[in-house]
Structure 1
Amino acid sequence: MRNTGIAPGDLPQGSVDCHAHVIKKNLPLATERHSQPARDASVRDYLDTLTAHGVAYGLLTAPSFYGANNQVLLEALRASEGRLRGTAIVEPDIGEDALAAMQRDGVCGIRLNWVKRQAIPDIRSREYQGLLAKARNLGLHIEVYLEGEHLPPVLAAIRASGARAVIDHFGHPPGSDGERSEGFTALLDALAAGNTWVKLSAPFRLRGSDPRALAARIIQQSNGERAVWATDWPWVGHEDTMTYRQCIESLFECVPDETIRNRILTENAYEAFGIRA
């Protein structure tokens, strides 16, 4: 990655980082397929990192290894004094009242982390249709992390439910030609329909696709109005190779147009997550 000479002041006032995790080691894990995180990542560490880089707000995403235990997430949101919002992982039979209580603490979405599974849950099942209805009723978005080849039916179900969707990590398309894949085409169609946003985040997690090519298609399809930016701090599994500055530089490389980039950093995020700057 080239040296762009970016300084904190180059980001617009009110910028938002739309994907990060707060982590505490040695808590019970959701399943045996998960392993303990390498290190703690506190809410204070994250807030200090945002401040140091001129970023005003953040969106915390519940990590998969805690399953539906959102204690760490909710404690962080309460401690953030309004700078952070969050997406929670829940069981599909959770009550609407319980979701509303999380919403009062700053939760603005429900995360479906279905990546790297032998079989993904059936989003058309009665229990998941009920979850989508609860999200729609409360104005919560559905955040999806899933391989792009499995996205089309999930996007279709969310759209049919009337809920909004936010797709992680460029839509995670397969291979070096991911921008021409069926799943990425379905994502572009969802962006054009107006109920879906996509995160320009974690290019280091892509499976060979060029993030600049993906970002160009996303911006073109949505007139720059359905993309948001995120760092994936603290880069679980890549802690020793990534820095926050690199994430900012990646955005500048993927979105060289300043007007569109500033919209991605502010207005798009405010609309997607209900942030009031």
Structure 2
Amino acid sequence: MFDSSPIDASKVWTRRRFIVASATMLGAPLANAAARQAVPHSQGEEAPALVAPEDACDCHMHIYDPRFAPSPHWKNPPPVAPVDAYRLFQKRIGTSRTVVVTPSTYGVDNHCTLDAVRQLGASARGIAVVNADVADVELKRLRDGGVVGLRVNFVSAQSWGTTTPQMLETLAQRVHPLGWHIQVLMNADQIVTHRAVLERLPTPVVFDHLARIPQPAGLHHEAFGVVAALMRQGRAFVKLSGAYMDTATGAPEYADVSNVARAFVDAAPSQVVWGSDWPHPTEKQKPDDAVLFDLLKRWAPDEKVRRQILVDNPTRLYQFS
């Protein structure tokens, strides 16, 4: 049974200061929990209290590099968030593996993502965005560049216009022989509407951002049951990311969203992964990434389960050797 009582934020920060002071007094090198690192697009400088295990993976982030032009369909100026800035995030949080997701900003142009995967090396994988009629030679180019899945977005504006369930099914059929998965961004009502399509996809399906379960409905929303059933069957994963997107209670506890996250972990701990959503493109007021990472201690109190979420599940899903 999970403890659902709210976190006392003051105690979290006090504990961090104690760790820093203790390490300093003992003359020990400042470990992950004691480091300070300012990161673009993130509040705070202190490292999380939770120490990331070796090979911990951030399974959802974006790179926005000014060298690559946005798609004409995207009207908002993108943030400046190149690989060098993301490396500062890794230094602060302690993750070492990364999944770079092409944002809607670039339409179906995946050059920025492929360039980021190349820069980050063997510790990175990519999730691309393509049209339904993408050529086989392009899929091979993406695979050779480290891509292991496609994202299909039903929420944000897309360069092709409206995303349809037929497009989702077509793309799943196209990439199934490659051993890829399909990542979907749907709101909870769309998950319920498209339940039949999601249940017959030949590939694993990965739901972005806690399946966008709204509050205050939370666990009572029909979408939670749909997603949890697919997880228990081993046919779906959920990204524990974007806690700020659907919360009504807010930071630092994100108490309402935390109830949903804990329930997904409890439903199928082998079918959840964690993502930062750096550089938090939906947020004008950027969150504290250390606080977000520390939520994992509440969402998965058992250290072995946290290792599954941060290391074992991503290794399997994203084909890290």
Structure 1 length-normalised TM:
0.89
3-state SS of the aligned residue for 1:59? strand
Deviations 1:192-225 (A, max 9, x none): 1111100010100115382221122212221x11
Within-5 A mapping of 1:64-213: 64-116=104-156, 121-123=163-165, 125=166, 128-154=168-194, 156-208=196-248, 210-213=256-259
Secondary structure at 2:58 match in 1: strand
In structure 2, C-alpha distance between the alignment counterparts of 1:192 and 1:117, rounded to whole Å: 31
Whether 1:253 and 2:298 are equivalent positions in the alignment is yes
Say whether the 8 Å CA contact 1:158–1:164 is kept in structure 2.
no
d(CA) in 2 for partners of 1:226 and 1:145?
A: 17
- Check 1:154–1:102 CA distance in 2 against 1; reply closer, same or farther (3 A cut): farther
TM-fit CA distance, 1:159: 3.9
CA contact (8 A) 1:147 1:171 kept: yes
User: Match of 1:35?
Assistant: 76
61-70 or 242-251, larger mean C-alpha shift: 242-251
Q: Which runs of 5+ in 2 are unaligned?
A: 1-6, 17-30, 34-50, 250-255
Per the alignment, residue 260 of structure 2 pairs with: 214
Question: Once the 2 structures are TM-superposed, how far is the Cα of residue 117 of structure 1 from its aligned partner?
Answer: 6.4
Instruction: Give the aligned partner of residue 60 of structure 2.
Output: 19
Matched residue type, 1:186: V
CA–CA distance in structure 1, aligned partners of residues 226 and 270 of structure 2: 17
Q: What is the SS of the residue equivalent to 2:177?
A: helix
Using the size of structure 2 for normalisation, the TM-score is 0.78
CA distance in 1, matches of 2:70, 2:100: 20
Could you say which residue in structure 2 is the equivalent of 1:270? 315
Check conservation: 1:62, 1:73, Cα contact below 8 A: yes
Identity of aligned residues (%): 25
CA RMSD of aligned residues (A): 2.3
Contact 1:155 1:165 in 2 (8 A): no
Work out which of the two has the higher radius of gyration on C-alpha atoms and give 1 or 2. Answer: 2
Q: Do the aligned partners of residues 155 and 215 (structure 1) sit closer, same or farther apart at CA in structure 2, a change above 3 Å counting?
A: same
Unaligned regions of 5+ residues in structure 1, if any?
A: none
**Once the 2 structures are TM-superposed, how far is the Cα of residue 239 of structure 1 from its aligned partner?**
5.8
Deviations 1:150-196 (A, max 9, x none): 01354542442311111111000122122111112111111111111
In 1, the alpha carbon distance for the partners of 2:137 and 2:257 equals 39
- What is the rounded CA distance, in whole Å, between the counterparts of 2:263 and 2:314 in structure 1? 19
